[in-house]
Amino acid sequence: MGRRRNGGALDDLFEIAAMLPWWVGVLLAVIGYLGLHLLAGSELLASKPGQMGGYLSHAVFKGLALGLQYVVPVALLAGAAASAIGRYKRKGLVAAVAGGESAAVLGGMSWQEFEALVSEAFRLEGFQVAETGGGGPDGGVDLVLRKGKEKYLVQCKRRRAFKVGVTIVRELYGVMAAQGAAGGYVVTSGKFTSDAVEFASGTNVTLVDGQKLFAMFEAVRKKKAGTSQQAKPAQQSVARERAVAQAAPARSNCGKAMVPRVAKQGATAGKPFWGCPGFPACRGVRPIA
């Protein structure tokens, strides 16, 4: 479930940059330009007897660098832009799914959107994700995941009405064995047949149906909501402390400007008040309005 490549070195550079974080593509573009620019501006030394081969090689590379110093960075920057746009779209898909009421929202996506959504789901789980593409709506491995030194393969199947059968699981299991992958995932917006579930139960292939995928994003939404709720009391406390600090301090009986403090015990525990900095020599206190 992916995109076909037309071939060519520049296409490969674009694809590589598109799979990497956008800032990495920009960094590679800068490094590529500087390196090729230096080579293009290098001086050709007069050849000596027996060194004609080195002279010609230098001349050829210099000529290539003259053009590539602009073409290579453009390809990398285009890939970086595609990476940034893709990440923005994936975040939008995550928000749309997390805001849905059920897994039925997955069925309305194109297979390209579904693959992008699945890739973001694994990123949220802490994996490094490479979107390889499987050559079409029913192609091979769509995603390659890495966590540490281990590699995992993912096959995406967007199915509205039909269940994913055991054949798909067997095919992925075979590819995993051939590539030495530590595990694999078959992800669908629908469900799996009982044969597929039975076969996967004895292997290192994990089946993720629409309900499980939706639950992953639901967990992310709840986690973010919980973090937001926990942050509110802290933000209110900081705002209160700032307001107290900015207020004009009262003066104690000894004439010193009081400082804001918080009661640690008694009926007023936790409440702010003005206290004399000369405590305990001066025990003057004033309530904070």
Q: Please tell me the predicted confidence (pLDDT) of residue 126.
A: 85
Quick one: residue 130, left, alpha or beta (phi over 0 = left, psi -120 to 50 = alpha)? Answer: beta
Q: Please tell me the predicted confidence (pLDDT) of residue 287.
A: 73
3-state helix, strand, coil split of the chain in percent (to 5) is: 55, 15, 30
Q: Strands 285-287, 272-275: parallel, antiparallel or unpaired by DSSP? A: antiparallel
- Rounded to whole angstroms, how far apart are CA atoms 60 and 175? 42
Structure tokens at 138: 């029913």
Q: Please tell me the predicted confidence (pLDDT) of residue 173.
A: 93
The CA dihedral of 74, 80, 82, 84, to the nearest 10 degrees, is -150
| 203 lies in some domain | yes
Nearest to residue 123, comparing CAs of 216, 203, 4? 216
Q: Please tell me the predicted confidence (pLDDT) of residue 174.
A: 92
Q: Which domain holds residue 187?
A: 106-217
Q: Please tell me the predicted confidence (pLDDT) of residue 103.
A: 47
pTM: 0.53
Q: State whether 78 and 30 are in the same domain.
A: yes
Structure tokens at 156: 């995406």
pLDDT, tens digit, 9 for 90 and up, residues 235-262: 666 666 565 555 545 666 777 777 777 7
Q: Please tell me the predicted confidence (pLDDT) of residue 136.
A: 46
Q: State whether 72 and 141 are in the same domain.
A: no
| Residue finishing a domain among 217, 237, 262 | 217
Using 70 as the pLDDT threshold, list the residues of the chain that sit under it. Answer: 1-7, 44-56, 90-109, 133-139, 159-161, 220-252, 288-289
Q: State whether 162 and 78 are in the same domain.
A: no
Q: Please tell me the predicted confidence (pLDDT) of residue 137.
A: 42
| 91 lies in some domain | yes
